[in-house]
Structure 1
Amino acid sequence: MEKQLKRSEVPKALKWDLTLLYESDEAMEQALAKTQQKASELAKTAGHFASDGQTFLRNLNENKTIGEELEREFVYGMLRRDSDTTDSTAVTLYGQVVNAATMIEAELAFIQPELTAIDDSDFTKLMQSEPGLAEYQYEMTKLRRQKKHVLSKAEETLLGYLNKSLDSAEEIYNTLNDADLKFGKVHDEQGQLVELTHGNRSQFNESQNRSVRKEAVLAYEKPYHELRNTFAQTLNSFISTENALAMIRHYPSARAAALGANNIPESVYDTLVATVNQHLDLVYRWYELKKRVLGLDKMYKYDVNVPLAGEDMLKTTFEQGKQLTWDALQVMGPEYLKGLKSEFEHRWIDAAENLGKRSGGYQVGVYTANPFILLNWTDKLYSTFVLAHESGHAMHSWFAQRAQPSEYADAPIFLAEVASTFNENILTDYLLEKYQDDPKKLIFILEQYITGFIGTIYRQTQFAEFEDAAYKAEQKGQTLTADYLDQLSGDLVNKYYGPAVEETGTRTQSWAYVPHFYMNYYVYQYATSWAVSTALSEAVWQHEPGALERYLDLLRAGGSDDPVTLLKHAGVDVTDSQYLERAFALFEKRLDQIEKLL
C-alpha cells in the first residue's frame, strides 16, 4: 500500500505467461501479417463465396481459421497493453492489432450480405448439399435470423473500415480512467499518507476508522467530478454511436439490437427491473440494520462498506486465495478441477496491481491456447471472490473450447456471467459451512454475500435503469451532459439505497466510474446471471441428482444455441420472474440469519 509497483518490479509468479501465446512481440507481428494475407486471399471469393456446397464449406473453414488466428493475436496485444497502459511499446502493438482487425473486418464484410441475399429455399438446398456444412447450421440460423439487419456489401464494408473510429469512445474512456486518472494520497489508519488507487480503495472504504473511509471515498470521487464534462462527452459519444448503428441496421432501439443478437426477449430486461424494484424493501432493511448496529445517527455512502464484524477477517494472500477457491470447488468434480489446476499452475493469471495496469478484473478465452485472467489483488476476502468469479469464466471457456468448434466456443455474456457468479455462490456456501461454529466469522461471511448480492443484483439493475434511460433520452435528442447524467444517476442511487443512506460527495462518480457502460447493455446480465446461478449452485451444492452434469453440460455448450434455450436445458426459465423470486428468497433467508446473529 505504500507505493504502486512498476511493471518491471512485479514478481514473475504474479504475472500471466504471454509466451503461451507468442514467444515475443515480433513473433506475434509475423503471425498477424500471415493472417492478414489469408484474409486478403479469402476476400477474392467475394461474389462466389457460396457458389456450391464444397466451395462454401472450404471458405467457411478458412474464415474460421482466420478468426482463430486473429483472436490469438488480438488477445496478445490486448494483454500486453492492459499490463501497463503507460507502456508506449505495448500501446503501439495493441494499436497494430486493432488496425489489422479493422482492415480484416472490412475486407470480409461482404460475407454476411452475400449469404443473407440467398433465397431461403436455395439456402436450404445449399446447406444440404455438403454434409460438412452441418457444423455451421446454428451459425447460419443466427445470421439469417438477422437478415433484415444486414446491410449491403458496400455499406457493411464502410462500417468495417469505420469500426476503429466507432470504438474510440471506449478507448478514450479506458485510457483516461486507467492511465491518466490520479486520486492523490490519503491517510491510512496509522496516519501515514498513501497513494489511493483503483485497486486499494476497497481497503480504505472498509476501514473501521470513519475519517479514513470518508477521506478515501471523497478523494476517489474528486477527479471524476473535476473531469465530469469529459466523462459525459465520452459516454454521450458512445451512446449516440450505438443508437445510430441500431437505426442504420433497422432496429427500433439500441436495446433491441443488443438483445436481439442473442434472441433474448426484451421482456427479460423489463421483468428484471420490475422485480428488483418490487424487492427494494429488502435492501432498505439491510441498510437500516447496518445503521442501527453501527450506532450512527446518519449513515452516508462512505459507511455502507464497513464490516459489521468489527474487523476485516479472513484476509488471504494470492496463494491462500487460490487454495480457498480450490477447496470450495471440490464439489465440481475431477474434470472441473483438472482445468482449475492448469489455470493455477501455468500462470494464466496476472494478479498484482502495478502502475498503469488496467483496473478491475476480467477473463478472456483464446480458443487455440487457454484463458487468461486479469486481477488487481488485495489481501482481502473480496479478492478471493473475484478470483473465484473470473475462474468461473475461465472454466466456462475451457469446457466450451474442448467441446465445441471455435465458432461456438464463446458463450454470450448472458450465459458467461452465470458461470462466474455460480462460483461466488459456491464459495459462500463453502465458507458458511466451514465456519458454521464461529458466529463472528459467519457474520463477516454473510455480509460478504449480502454485499455481493446487492452489488450484483441491486446495483447492476440500478445501472441497467440508468443505461436504458440514457439511451432512450439520447435517442429522443437529449444531449447527455454531466448535469443531466448527474441528475439521472443521483435519483436512481437514492432510490436503490433507500432512506437510511444519506447522499454525500459528487453524483458524477456514480456513473463515470463504470466501464461496463461502454459495452452496450451489458450490466443487466450480471443481475440475471446471479439469479440464475443461485438456482444452479444450490442444486449442485446440495448434490441434487443430475444437477452437476446438467451444469457442466451448460459450460460445454458454450454459444451453440440461444441462451434462453440452453438455460432451459439446465433447468432455469428466464422468461418469467420465478428465477428472480428464488434468488430474493435466499437473500431474505440470509438477512434473517445475520440479523439473528447480530
Structure 2
Amino acid sequence: MKKSFAPRHLIPVEQTWDLSPLIDSIEAYNAGIAQIEKDALLFNQKYTGNIIDSSSVVQVLTDYEKLNEQFVPYGAYASLSLEVDQTNDEAQMRASKFGSIASKIGSQLSFVHSDLSALSTEILEEAATIAPQFENYIKEIIKKKAHQLHPEVEKTLAALSSSLDAPYELYNTTKLVDMKFDNFTANGESFPLNYSLFEGDWELESDVNIRRAAFEAFSNKLREYQHTTAKTYNTHVTTEKTLSDLRGYESVTDYLLFDQEVDRTLYNRQIDLITKELAPHMRRYAKLLQKVHGLEKMTFADLKIPLDPEFEPMITVEESKNYIENALKVMGDDYMEMIEKSYSERWIDFAQNEGKSTGAFCSSPYGFHPYILISWTSRMNEVFVLAHELGHAGHFVNAHKKQSLFNSRPSTYFIEAPSTMNEMLMANYLLTTAEDTRFKRWVTASIISRTYYHNFVTHLLEAAYQRKVYDKVDAGESVNANVLNRLKREVLEDFWGDAVEITEGAELTWMRQPHYYMGLYPYTYSAGLTISTQVSQRILNEGQPAVEDWLKVLQAGGTKTPVELAQMAGVDITTDEPLLNTIAYIGGLIDQLEVLTEELDSVIIDK
C-alpha cells in the first residue's frame, strides 16, 4: 500500500532544493526587501518627470534594469519556499507580504513605462541606437503605445497587481491546503489519496479496480469544490476581459497573444489541426491500450495507464542521472556541467511531502541557477519529466550567460520548445539503445504516453477548452461550474469520439491545472513540441551542426520573435508543415506500437 505524504520538516535534506544561494537567512531577506523599498523610492524621486530625451531614456533603463535584477532573488525565495509547502504559515505570510510590497514598488515604478510611452517614437529609436542592449525593450514600448493608459491609471493598476493576481493564489490554496482527500477502497483494501498520489500513481495504476476507484474518489472530492473554483476562475477571466477592454484590444485573446508576439493564425492552427488530425491516431492508441489490458470498455480514467506496466523499470534519483547524462551529452560539455551541478548543488526538489505543489516546474531567476520542482515517484517516466524541466534550466542558463535581464526571456509561445527538446533527445537515446522488442515497445509507448499525450493531448485539450471560455467572456458572458463542466465535456467528447467513454468526473479536469491562470499558456506546449520534434530529427540526422544551431537559439533569449527563433533552428512555423509532420510522426509511432504488440503477442502464442 502506498503511504500518505510526510510533513515537510521530516523530509531528508538531500531530497530538497537549497534556496540559500538566493537568500541565506530570513534576516537577510527582510533587510534586502527593506533596502529595495528605499531604492525604489529614490529611483522614483530621481527620474519622475525627468525622462525627456534619448540620453535620459538610456540612463533610466540602465538603472531600472539594475533595480529589477536586485528584486529577483527575493521574489524567487518567497515563491519557491511556498511552492514546496503551501501549508507553511510562515511561507504563506511571507509570500503574501511580498506580493503587497511588489505591488507598492510596481506602483512607484509604473511611471517608467508611462513616461517612455509619452515620448516620440523618434526619441525612443534614437535611444535604441545609442544603447542597442535596450533595443528590444524599446521596441516593446513603441508597440504598446496604442494600449498605454493614463499614467495615474497605470499607477493604480500596478498598485492593485497583488489583488489582480489573487485568483491564482486562491486556486492554489483551495487545491493544496483546503482540499483534503479521504482514503478510498478497492479490492477490499483502503488506499490513501491526494493530488500528487492521484496524478503520480493512481492514474498510472495497472489494476483497473484500484485505478477507477481512485478516479471516482478523486472526482467526488473535486466536485465538492467546483463552485468555489469556478467562481475563482470566473473572477480571473472577467478581470482579463476588463483589462483587455481598458487597453483597447478587440478581444481577450488578442490581448493575451500580444505579448507572445504571434497572431491568431498560429494560435488557432495549433488547436484546430491537432483536434482534427491527431484525434484519429490517439483513438487508435486508446483502442490499443484497451486491447492490451483486456478492458471491456475504455474510459477516461484508463487513458494514462502504461501499455506494459509490468515492464516499466523503477529507478532511483541516482540512476536517473545516468539516463539524463547519456541522453543529453549530445548538447556538449557546458550543458553536461549544468546537469552535474543540478544534482550535486541541490537545484532539484525531489521530495514528496504534504502541501507541495503538484506537477513539475523550473524557475530560473536571473543571476542565479535554476530551481526544479518534481515529486519523485521512482517511475521511469519521471526521467522524461526531469529531462523536460532540465530543458528549461538549460535554456535559461544559456540565455542568462549571453543576454541582459530585459533580453533574456522569449515569448511564452516558444518557452516549451527547449523543454520538450530534451524529452525528444531522451526518446532518441532510448530508441537507439533498445535491443529487444519489448523494451523498444516500452520506449515507444513512453514517448506517446508521456511526451506526446501530455503536451499534444492533455495541454492541447486545455487550450481548446480555454478558447471556448474566452469566446464566451468576449461575448459578455460569465462562466460557472455548470458551464465549465459542459465546455470541458464537449472538448473531450469531440476529441475522443466513441473510442473512449467520457465517464462522470472527466468534465471536472478543468479544475486540475493552474495553467488557466497564466494566459494562453496551454497551447504553447504543443507549439514548443512541434518545433522540438522537427529540430530533434535534425540533430538525429545531422548531428553537431544542428546542435550548434539549437544552442544559438537558446542563447538568443528574448532577442528574437518565436518565428525568428524557429527559423534559426531550421523550422518554418508560419506554415502547416511542421505541425502536420509532427502529427504524422506521432501516427508513425502508434503504427510501430501496433506492429510491436502483434510481434510480442505472436511470440507468446508460439510459446
Name the TM tier (shorter chain): over 0.9
| Separation of aligned partners in 2, 1:361 and 1:248 | 35
Equivalent in the alignment of 1:121: 122
Residue type matched to 2:442 in 1? Answer: F
Q: Deviations over 1:288-326 (max 9, x none)?
A: 222233333311122222222251512112221222111
C-alpha distance 312-154 of structure 1, shift in aligned 2 (>3 A)? farther
Q: Does 1:195 align with 2:196?
A: no
Equivalent in the alignment of 1:321: 320
| 1:11 to partner: Cα distance | 1.0
What are structure 2's unaligned runs of at least 5 residues? 598-607
Equivalent in the alignment of 2:171: 173
Q: Deviations over 1:232-272 (max 9, x none)?
A: 11111111111111111111112111111132111101111
Equivalent in the alignment of 1:143: 141
8 Å Cα contact 2:238-2:478 kept in structure 1: no
Q: Which moved more, 1:116-125 or 1:173-182?
A: 116-125
| Other structure's SS at 2:160 match | helix
Equivalent in the alignment of 1:20: 21
Displacement over 6 Å in runs of 4+: none
Equivalent in the alignment of 1:541: 540
8 Å Cα contact 1:272-1:577 kept in structure 2: no
> 5 Å matches for 1:448-597?
448-451=446-449, 452-544=451-543, 546-597=545-596
| Separation of aligned partners in 2, 1:419 and 1:582 | 19
Equivalent in the alignment of 1:207: 205
| 1:218 to partner: Cα distance | 1.1
| Separation of aligned partners in 1, 2:589 and 2:506 | 31
Residue type matched to 2:259 in 1? Answer: A
Residue type matched to 1:83 in 2? Answer: V
8 Å Cα contact 1:360-1:376 kept in structure 2: yes
| 1:68 to partner: Cα distance | 1.0
Q: Report the TM-score when normalising by structure 1.
A: 0.96
Residue 439 (structure 2) aligned to one of 438, 441, 444 = 441
| Separation of aligned partners in 1, 2:127 and 2:529 | 42
Q: Deviations over 1:523-564 (max 9, x none)?
A: 000011111110111111333452001100111011112222
| Separation of aligned partners in 2, 1:257 and 1:474 | 13
| Separation of aligned partners in 1, 2:275 and 2:23 | 49
Number of aligned positions between the proteins: 593
| 1:39 to partner: Cα distance | 0.9
Equivalent in the alignment of 2:363: 364
8 Å Cα contact 2:414-2:527 kept in structure 1: no
| Separation of aligned partners in 2, 1:412 and 1:338 | 27
Q: Deviations over 1:387-411 (max 9, x none)?
A: 1010000111100111111111223
> 5 Å matches for 1:332-351?
332-351=331-350
| 1:3 to partner: Cα distance | 2.3
Equivalent in the alignment of 2:181: 183
Equivalent in the alignment of 1:288: 287
Q: Which moved more, 1:334-343 or 1:527-536?
A: 334-343
Q: Does 1:105 align with 2:102?
A: no
| Other structure's SS at 1:193 match | strand
| Separation of aligned partners in 1, 2:338 and 2:291 | 45
| Separation of aligned partners in 2, 1:391 and 1:188 | 37
Q: Does 1:61 align with 2:59?
A: no
8 Å Cα contact 1:49-1:111 kept in structure 2: no
> 5 Å matches for 1:184-263?
184-187=182-185, 192-201=189-198, 202-263=200-261
| Separation of aligned partners in 2, 1:519 and 1:108 | 23
Equivalent in the alignment of 2:430: 431
Q: Which moved more, 1:552-561 or 1:284-293?
A: 284-293
| 1:165 to partner: Cα distance | 0.9
| 1:188 to partner: Cα distance | 7.4
Q: Does 1:95 align with 2:79?
A: no
| Separation of aligned partners in 1, 2:50 and 2:3 | 59
C-alpha distance 312-254 of structure 1, shift in aligned 2 (>3 A)? farther
Identity %: 27
Residue type matched to 2:205 in 1? Answer: S
8 Å Cα contact 1:225-1:508 kept in structure 2: no
Residue type matched to 2:96 in 1? Answer: G
| 1:508 to partner: Cα distance | 4.2
Residue type matched to 2:16 in 1? Answer: K
What are structure 1's unaligned runs of at least 5 residues? none
Q: Does 1:304 align with 2:326?
A: no
Q: Which moved more, 1:166-175 or 1:542-551?
A: 542-551
| 1:104 to partner: Cα distance | 1.1
Residue type matched to 2:248 in 1? Answer: H
| Separation of aligned partners in 2, 1:126 and 1:521 | 32
| Separation of aligned partners in 2, 1:137 and 1:305 | 46
| 1:484 to partner: Cα distance | 0.9
| 1:54 to partner: Cα distance | 3.8
C-alpha distance 342-538 of structure 1, shift in aligned 2 (>3 A)? same
| Separation of aligned partners in 1, 2:304 and 2:84 | 29
Q: Deviations over 1:472-529 (max 9, x none)?
A: 1022232211111111110111122221111213244221111101111110000111
| Separation of aligned partners in 2, 1:577 and 1:224 | 38
Residue type matched to 2:469 in 1? Answer: A
C-alpha distance 492-358 of structure 1, shift in aligned 2 (>3 A)? same
| Separation of aligned partners in 2, 1:151 and 1:20 | 39
Root mean square deviation of aligned Cα: 1.6
| Separation of aligned partners in 1, 2:243 and 2:453 | 33
C-alpha distance 179-520 of structure 1, shift in aligned 2 (>3 A)? same
| Separation of aligned partners in 2, 1:499 and 1:313 | 29
| Other structure's SS at 2:52 match | coil
> 5 Å matches for 1:37-56?
37-56=38-57
8 Å Cα contact 2:125-2:138 kept in structure 1: no
Residue 157 (structure 1) aligned to one of 135, 155, 161 = 155
| 1:457 to partner: Cα distance | 1.1
8 Å Cα contact 1:400-1:409 kept in structure 2: yes
| Separation of aligned partners in 1, 2:355 and 2:275 | 38
| Separation of aligned partners in 1, 2:126 and 2:301 | 64
| 1:49 to partner: Cα distance | 4.1
| Separation of aligned partners in 1, 2:547 and 2:476 | 49
| Other structure's SS at 1:44 match | helix
| Other structure's SS at 1:107 match | helix
C-alpha distance 122-68 of structure 1, shift in aligned 2 (>3 A)? closer
Q: Which moved more, 1:463-472 or 1:44-53?
A: 44-53
8 Å Cα contact 1:110-1:157 kept in structure 2: yes
| Other structure's SS at 1:299 match | coil
Residue type matched to 2:263 in 1? Answer: P
Q: Deviations over 1:554-581 (max 9, x none)?
A: 1101111222212212211222111101
| 1:89 to partner: Cα distance | 0.7
Residue type matched to 1:558 in 2? Answer: G
Equivalent in the alignment of 2:605: none
| 1:376 to partner: Cα distance | 1.0
Q: Report the TM-score when normalising by structure 2.
A: 0.95
C-alpha distance 527-126 of structure 1, shift in aligned 2 (>3 A)? closer
Q: Deviations over 1:145-190 (max 9, x none)?
A: 111011111110010111111111111001111122122213578x
